[in-house]
Amino acid sequence: MSTRTGRKITGGKYVARRKKKRYEEKGQARKVKLGENKNKKQRVRGGNLKTVALKGKTINVKGKKLEIKNVVETPSNRFLARQNIITKGTIVETEKGRAKVTNRPSQEGVINGILLEK
């Protein structure tokens, strides 16, 4: 068995039958950082607009806006927490205690979460 990626057992190349269509291509990676709230509107399929967050400093918890003081931990990647990047599942420190981010801020433009038990 060949260990070279993109090759057949005989050594021949796998050739793509066609290029990717525009809607199949990846978008630019967005990382929501801790800082003054900053959003951007982006055109998506069908001509619709999506509001994406670039920076955020408030989190919505049970209808109240709490200020984020610090990013404590990110279960998906510990290096993201060091860079103060907020993703789904990130645990942040607020004035009322720790909160867990329950949505994808890079897709929705806001940061929602729930308070964690102490």
pLDDT above 80 (res 4): no
Buried b (16+ CB within 10 A) or exposed e, 85-117: bbbbebbbebeeebbbbeebbbeebebbbeeee
Q: Is 66 helix (H, G, I), strand (E, B) or coil?
A: strand
118: pLDDT confidence band, cut at 50, 70 and 90?
low
| Cα–Cα distance measured from residue 76 to residue 45, given in angstroms and rounded to the nearest whole number | 28
| Cα–Cα distance measured from residue 23 to residue 79, given in angstroms and rounded to the nearest whole number | 30
pLDDT above 60 (res 39): yes
What domains appear along the chain, each with residue ranges and CATH number? 28-115 (3.10.290.70)
pLDDT score recorded for residue 1 = 53
73: pLDDT confidence band, cut at 50, 70 and 90?
very high
DSSP code of 19?
A: P
Six token digits for residue 101: 């981010």
- What average pLDDT does the segment 64-76 reach? 94
Quick one: which of 65, 102, 66, 97 has its CA closest to 86? 102
| Cα–Cα distance measured from residue 6 to residue 89, given in angstroms and rounded to the nearest whole number | 34
- What average pLDDT does the segment 37-41 reach? 92
pLDDT above 90 (res 3): no
pLDDT score recorded for residue 29 = 83
22: pLDDT confidence band, cut at 50, 70 and 90?
confident
